[in-house]
């Protein structure tokens, strides 16, 4: 049975649940399910930071999300309030706030909680990966 599954990731990129979210997404896609959107909230917003550079012996979860999203057309949405609180911003916000750099990773978009509510209505399941 084909299902539309949305993911909510509140785990920071260095936490085990962040890796499990990525693995779950891969397994769901391999099983013929659709994952239209992954919503990053709380510490999960750090996934959208283009400046993350994990040690060589650790997974680069942000880069892995970018690749997976590019291959399968998955929206990677970072909560705007959570992102700004953690210093993650797109070019428009950086310019408006007179910051010297934007650091939102390519493939990620910043939006509000409405995007989470929308995908919760549209999806058959919401699977959460807490921090």
Cβ-in-10-Å burial (0-12, 13-18, 19+) of 46 comes to buried
3-state SS assignment for residue 36: coil
Residues with active-site annotation: 79
What separation, in Å, do the N-terminal and C-terminal C-alpha atoms of the chain show?
30
- Residue 39's H or E segment, with its range, is strand 37-40
Provide the angle, in degrees to the nearest 10, between the axes of the packed helices 61-72 and 16-30.
20
**Interatomic CA distance for residues 51 and 38, integer angstroms:** 20
């Amino acid at each position: 049975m084909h299902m539309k599954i949305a993911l909510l990731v509140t785990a920071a990129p260095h936490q085990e649940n962040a890796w499990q979210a990525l693995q779950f997404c891969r397994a769901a896609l391999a099983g013929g399910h659709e994952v239209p959107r992954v919503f990053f909230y709380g510490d999960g917003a750090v996934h959208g930071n283009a400046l993350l550079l994990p040690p060589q012996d650790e997974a680069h979860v942000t880069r892995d999300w970018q690749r997976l999203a590019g291959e399968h057309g998955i929206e990677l949405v970072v909560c705007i309030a959570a992102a700004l609180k953690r210093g993650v911003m797109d070019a428009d916000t950086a310019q408006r706030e007179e910051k010297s750099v934007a650091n939102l990773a390519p493939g990620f978009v910043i939006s509000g909680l409405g995007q989470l509510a929308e995908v919760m209505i549209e999806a058959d399941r919401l699977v959460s990966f807490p921090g």
